[in-house]
C-alpha cells in the first residue's frame, strides 16, 4: 500500500465516522422535539424522524445525488442519476458510495428541522409528502448551487460571484445550505398550518409546556456530540498536517460557539425574565452550533465565541418576537434556532473570517457575497415552501381534525401510544 492510498483510506474512515455522527443527530432531533412537546404526540414525533431518514435516503440515492452533484455544477439543477453513481468521481479519491452516505445524512437533517415547527397538528400522510419534496427537489437544487460546484461557490476567475463581489459564497458545513433552509421551510410551514388549539387567546400567547425536559436535554447533548461530525467532518479528510490542524481548529470553534451560545441565552433569559430558563438555554446551545457552522473553518476561536454568544442572545428575542408579535406557533423554536441563527452565522462569516473578513481588513466583498448567497438560498426555500405547503393545504389538507389534535395524534394517526 502506497502512502497516498493510506492517506485516502484514513480520509475515507474519517468521512464515514463523521457520517455516523451526523446520523446520530437524528435521535437527538427526535428526543429534543418530543421533549418540547406534549406526551400525547410523542410516538408521532419519533415516527416522523424515522420517516425523514427513510424517505430522504432512498430519494437522495436514486435522484437527489444527481440533482445536487450532476452536470459538474453547471445550470440550475444537475441531472437525475436514477441510482447510477458512475457519473461522479471525487476529486480527492474518496469512494463515491461513502461520499453519497455523507451527503445523505445532511439532506435528512434539513428535512428533519421542519418537523419540530409543525409538530402536534400535522397529518402524518402529508408530512410524508412534504418530506418527499424537500429531499427530492428543494435541498438538492440549492445544494447544487453551492456544494455541488454551482455558481454561488464558484471562485474561478471570470465567474459571476468573482466578477460581482470578488469572492465566492462560503458555507463550510451548512449554516445556510442545511439549517437556514430548514428554518425558513419550518417558518413557512408553521404559518400555513396555523397555531395549535389554545395557543393564542385574546391576542396573547399561552405557554404550552413540553412534557419531558430530560428527553429534550438528552437530545441536545446528542446533537452537540453529533455536531463534531457535522462540522469537522466537512473537511472530508484527516490525513496530513493540513487536515489534522484544520479539523482540530473546527472542533475548537464548534465547541466554543456552543458553550457561548448557551451562556448567552442563559444570562439573557435571567436578566429578561428574572430566572435562567433551562429550555431556552438548550436552544441557545443549538443556536451557537448553527451559527458557527458556516465559518467554523475560517474564524478564530475568539471570533467563534463572539458569534456563538451573539446567536444565543438573538435567539431569546427571536423566539419571543415570532411567538408573541407575529403569533406564529413554533413548538420547538426551529425557525429561530435554525432559520434566524443560520442566517446570522452565515453573515458573520463575512465579517469574522481571518482571511477576507471585513473585520480583518478584507473589505466588504466577501460579506456581500455572503449576503447575496443567503438571500438566494432562503428565497428559494421560501418560494418553494409556499408552493409546497399551500399546495398540500388546498389539495389534501395539511392539518388534522380538531378532535384528533385535542386527544393526541398518537392514537388517532398510529393506533398506539408512546406511554401506556
DSSP 120-152: TTB-HHHHHHHHHHIIIIIHHHHHHHTTTS-GG
Confidence of residue 71 (pLDDT cuts 50, 70, 90): confident
- CA–CA gap between residue 62 and residue 74 (Å, rounded): 20
pLDDT of residue 72: 82
Confidence of residue 313 (pLDDT cuts 50, 70, 90): very high
Distances (CA, A) of 223 to 121, 205, 248: 25, 29, 19
Q: What is the pTM of this model?
A: 0.97
pLDDT digits (tens, 9 = 90+) for 8-51: 999 999 999 999 999 999 999 999 999 999 999 999 999 999 99
Question: DSSP characters for 192-207?
Answer: HH-PPTTSEETTEE--
pLDDT digits (tens, 9 = 90+) for 218-253: 999 999 999 999 999 999 999 999 999 999 999 999
Please state the rounded mean pLDDT for residues 280-290.
Answer: 98
pLDDT of residue 420: 80
- CA–CA gap between residue 230 and residue 379 (Å, rounded): 24
Nearest to 124 by CA among 419, 409, 393: 409
204 pairs with which residues across the strands?
201
Whether residue 1 is predicted with pLDDT greater than 80 in this model: the reply is no
Reported as type and span, the H/E element at residue 250 is helix 240-273
Nearest to 341 by CA among 364, 362, 360, 322: 322
Q: Per CATH, which fold does 3-414 belong to?
A: Ammonium transporter fold (1.10.3430)
Amino acid at each position: 500500500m502506497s502512502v497516498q492510498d493510506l492517506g485516502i483510506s484514513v480520509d475515507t474512515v474519517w468521512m464515514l465516522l463523521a457520517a455516523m455522527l451526523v446520523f446520530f443527530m437524528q435521535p437527538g432531533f427526535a428526543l429534543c422535539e418530543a421533549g418540547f412537546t406534549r406526551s400525547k404526540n410523542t410516538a408521532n414525533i419519533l415516527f416522523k424522524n424515522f420517516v425523514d431518514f427513510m424517505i430522504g435516503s432512498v430519494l437522495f440515492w436514486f435522484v437527489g445525488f444527481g440533482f445536487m452533484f450532476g452536470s459538474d455544477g453547471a445550470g440550475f439543477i444537475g441531472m437525475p442519476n436514477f441510482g447510477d453513481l458512475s457519473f461522479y468521481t471525487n476529486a480527492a479519491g474518496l469512494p463515491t458510495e461513502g461520499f453519497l452516505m455523507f451527503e445523505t445524512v445532511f439532506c435528512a437533517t434539513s428535512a428533519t428541522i421542519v418537523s419540530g415547527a409543525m409538530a402536534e397538528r400535522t397529518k402524518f400522510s402529508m408530512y410524508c409528502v412534504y418530506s418527499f419534496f424537500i429531499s427530492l427537489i428543494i435541498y438538492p437544487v440549492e445544494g447544487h448551487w453551492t456544494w455541488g460546484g454551482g455558481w454561488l461557490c464558484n471562485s474561478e476567475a471570470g465567474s459571476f460571484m468573482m466578477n460581482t463581489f470578488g469572492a465566492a459564497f462560503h458555507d463550510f458545513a451548512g449554516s445556510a445550505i442545511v439549517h437556514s433552509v430548514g428554518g425558513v421551510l419550518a417558518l413557512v410551514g408553521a404559518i400555513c398550518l396555523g397555531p395549535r388549539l389554545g395557543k393564542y387567546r385574546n391576542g396573547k400567547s399561552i405557554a404550552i409546556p413540553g412534557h419531558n425536559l430530560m428527553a429534550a436535554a438528552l437530545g441536545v447533548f446528542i446533537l452537540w456530540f453529533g455536531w463534531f461530525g457535522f462540522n469537522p467532518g466537512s473537511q472530508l479528510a484527516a490525513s496530513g498536517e493540513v487536515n489534522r490542524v484544520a479539523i482540530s481548529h473546527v472542533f475548537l470553534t464548534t465547541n466554543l460557539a456552543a458553550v457561548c451560545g448557551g451562556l448567552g441565552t442563559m444570562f439573557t433569559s435571567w436578566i429578561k425574565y428574572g430566572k435562567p430558563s433551562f429550555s431556552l438555554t438548550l436552544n441557545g446551545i443549538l443556536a451557537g452550533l448553527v451559527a458557527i457552522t458556516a465559518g467554523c473553518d475560517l474564524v478564530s476561536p475568539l471570533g467563534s465565541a463572539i458569534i456563538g454568544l451573539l446567536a444565543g442572545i438573538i435567539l431569546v428575542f427571536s423566539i419571543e418576537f415570532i411567538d408573541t408579535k407575529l403569533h406564529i406557533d413554533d413548538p420547538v423554536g426551529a425557525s429561530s434556532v435554525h432559520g434566524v441563527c443560520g442566517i446570522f452565522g452565515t453573515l458573520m462569516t463575512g465579517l469574522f473570517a481571518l482571511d477576507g473578513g471585513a473585520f480583518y481588513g478584507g473589505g466588504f466583498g466577501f460579506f456581500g457575497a455572503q449576503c447575496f448567497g443567503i438571500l438566494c438560498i432562503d428565497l428559494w426555500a421560501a418560494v418553494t415552501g409556499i408552493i409546497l405547503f399551500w399546495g398540500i393545504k388546498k389539495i389534501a389538507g395539511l392539518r388534522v381534525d380538531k378532535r384528533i389534535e385535542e386527544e393526541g395524534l398518537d392514537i388517532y394517526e398510529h393506533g398506539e401510544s408512546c406511554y401506556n
